[in-house]
Amino acid sequence: MVLWIAVELALRVWSAGCRSRYQGMMGRLRFLRRLLCIIDICLVVASCVIMIIGSTQEFPQTVLSALRFFQIARMVRMDRKGGTWKLLGSVVWAHRQELVTTLYIGLLGLIFSSYLVYIVEKDEPRIDAVGPKQQFNNTGYKPKFNNFADAIWWGVVTLCTVGYGDVVPASWGGKVIASFSAILGISFFALPAGILGSGFALKVQQQQRQKHLNRRRVPAANLIQCLWRCYAADEHSISTATWKPHMIPCPSPTS
């Protein structure tokens, strides 16, 4: 695999001279400064280092792990032209207003629900698998929600439907607030996925329509050109839009 990537990189550098901007030594260096070429060079160098010193086990393991990251970067080479990222960027840019609106409302819901749960749960004791276990400190027993950051973490886990269960409300008030927050907040957190999904579908449909249009454009242009030639070459045509008036021989100059 490393040999294949190295040979491919060498062939690409050699064939880049067919373009005027990449001719000569400076042009080749300009070509090597492209992102994909830099990734390929890092892949080849990292793979060679791993093969040379990886078997001896005399190199720090953290450095080897960092070098193996470049081997994972081979996935980036699968999309050389960046069509996937361009498609994603165009969809996000086309629906930027809807995405910003939903993210703003979802962020507000996250903050308010987390704050309400924190206010209700900050005085509740910690409950373990055996029963209520009050861990006293300077101010009394230690609550389940130690600070507002724990409440924010609970809100993110709940509204993203992950449900780790490491931090959960213990009081009935907290459970009621959590229920309403989950029902209302999840609907807004799920909206960006629907917006992006519909945007991808519309973009793919637009690309398919453009492909069909391009396929029909060339035959239509050829047909129009053929009809125009037939019309312009008609002997009985008196239209001045043809080239016939220009075919009339010029009168000879008077002596």
Going by pLDDT thresholds of 50, 70 and 90, the confidence category of residue 58 is low
Which stretches of 73-224 are assigned E, i.e. beta strand?
A: 136-137, 140-141
CA distances from 211 to 118, 201, 207, 208, 225 (A): 55, 15, 6, 5, 22
What pLDDT score was predicted for residue 1?
64
What pLDDT score was predicted for residue 54?
60
pLDDT single digits (tens) 163-222: 787 888 888 888 898 888 888 888 887 888 888 888 888 888 888 888 888 888 888 888
What pLDDT score was predicted for residue 132?
47
b/e per residue, 100-125, with b = 16+ CB within 10 A? Answer: eebeebbeebbeebbebbbebbbebe
Going by pLDDT thresholds of 50, 70 and 90, the confidence category of residue 129 is very low
What pLDDT score was predicted for residue 140?
44
The values of phi and psi at residue 140, to 5°, are 125, -155
The values of phi and psi at residue 231, to 5°, are -70, -40
Q: How far apart are CA 28 and CA 188, in angstroms?
A: 51
Q: How far apart are CA 189 and CA 159, in angstroms?
A: 7
Q: How far apart are CA 25 and CA 8, in angstroms?
A: 19
Count Cβ atoms within 10 A of the Cβ of residue 141 and give its class: 0-12 exposed, 13-18 middle, 19 or more buried: middle
Top pLDDT among 141 and 227 is at 227
Count Cβ atoms within 10 A of the Cβ of residue 191 and give its class: 0-12 exposed, 13-18 middle, 19 or more buried: middle
Inform me whether the pLDDT recorded for 228 exceeds 80: no
Mean of pLDDT values over 48-58: 66
Inform me whether the pLDDT recorded for 225 exceeds 60: yes
Q: How far apart are CA 140 and CA 143, in angstroms?
A: 9
Least confident of 37-51, 57-71, 104-118, 131-145: 131-145
Q: How far apart are CA 148 and CA 117, in angstroms?
A: 9
Going by pLDDT thresholds of 50, 70 and 90, the confidence category of residue 57 is low
Average pLDDT value over all residues in the chain: 76
Which stretches of 33-129 are assigned E, i.e. beta strand?
A: none
Top pLDDT among 91 and 35 is at 91
Inform me whether the pLDDT recorded for 26 exceeds 70: yes
- Give the tokens for residue 192: 């960006």
Count Cβ atoms within 10 A of the Cβ of residue 148 and give its class: 0-12 exposed, 13-18 middle, 19 or more buried: middle
**Best-predicted range by mean pLDDT among 11-20, 68-77, 92-101, 225-234?**
92-101
CA angle in degrees (0–180, nearest 5) for 44-45-46: 95
Inform me whether the pLDDT recorded for 246 exceeds 80: no
Q: On the CB side of 102, how many CA atoms lie within 13 Å of its CA?
A: 18
pLDDT single digits (tens) 82-115: 677 788 888 889 889 988 998 898 889 899 999 9
Are 67 and 50 in contact by the 8 Å Cβ rule? The answer is yes
Closest by CA position to 40, among listed 3, 14, 15, 65:
3
- Tell if the pTM clears 0.85, that is, is over it: no
